[in-house]
Structure formats: structure tokens, C-alpha cells
Amino acid sequence: MATHHGKEGVVTSAGTAIDGVTGFTLDTTHDTVEDTQLSSTTKSFLAGRGTFTGSIDMNYDETDTPQTTLLTGTTLAFVFLPEGNTTGDESFSGSGIVTGMSISVPLDGTVTRTVSFQGTGALTIGTVA
């Protein structure tokens, strides 16, 4: 069984790595539609449409060009690389609309930014070439 350390993770936006990423979440879901016949004693379902959402946590850096493009309402191409960016590592890529951004400024800590997004179109699962 392979395990990976979080420090291996990388996120790119529009082809460029986002600097200062401290974590990310990628959620995928698929709708189901019931197709049970009246005479059935158990329910049955068909797979419907899928979607993906997620969030990216990062240290705030106003000089990092990819961070400055993460504005609400913007559609961007993302690649999520949980294992890193080495040949053969798994990748998740797709387009997403930035749906929210929050900046946290603690009294005694690091200023952070969290961006949430809604996927649009398919999420492609592949490997780094």
C-alpha cells in the first residue's frame, strides 16, 4: 500500500504552480436516478451526472501571479497533484469557477487565503507525463 506525505502535493492554475499552497480538497459526486419498477421489492438506480468541487488553502501572497487570478466568478483550468509533479504521479485536471475566497488575518499567525470552486465539465484523472 502506497502512502504519501502532504508535502508532495501541488496545485496548478492555468499551467503555473500556485505558490504557498498548504492544502487542498477535491470532492467528486455523482447523481443517481431511481428506476425501480412498481413490482420490485427493492429499489434500483441509474447513474446520473457527475460534478466536482473543492477548495485550496494557501499562505497569502499578493505577489504570486496564480494567486492573483483566483477571483470569484473567474473560470480557470486547475490540475491537482496529490503525489507531486513527477512522471507517473496521479493527476486530477479540469476547469472550475471560483465561487468564494476568504482571507484570514490572525493576531499571532500567518495570513492565509482559502479559495473554493465549482467544477464545470469533466474531471480528468490521469498521470503526469
pLDDT tens per residue across span 92-105: 999 999 999 999 99
Query: What per-residue confidence (pLDDT) applies to 75?
Result: 96
| pLDDT, the chain, mean | 95
How does pLDDT run across 49-100, given as a tens digit for each residue? 999 999 999 999 999 999 999 999 999 999 999 999 999 999 999 999 999 9
How does pLDDT run across 3-23, given as a tens digit for each residue? 888 899 999 998 999 999 999
What is the reported pTM? 0.89
pLDDT above 90 (res 1) = no
Query: What per-residue confidence (pLDDT) applies to 2?
Result: 82
Q: At 37, which amino acid appears? A: Q
Angle at 79 between CA 70 and CA 98, to 5 degrees: 25
Q: Give 45: exposed, middle or buried? Use CB within 10 Å, 0-12, 13-18, 19+.
A: exposed
What the chain holds in terms of domains, given with CATH numbers, is 6-29+47-127 (2.30.110.20)
Residue 7, helix vs strand vs coil:
helix
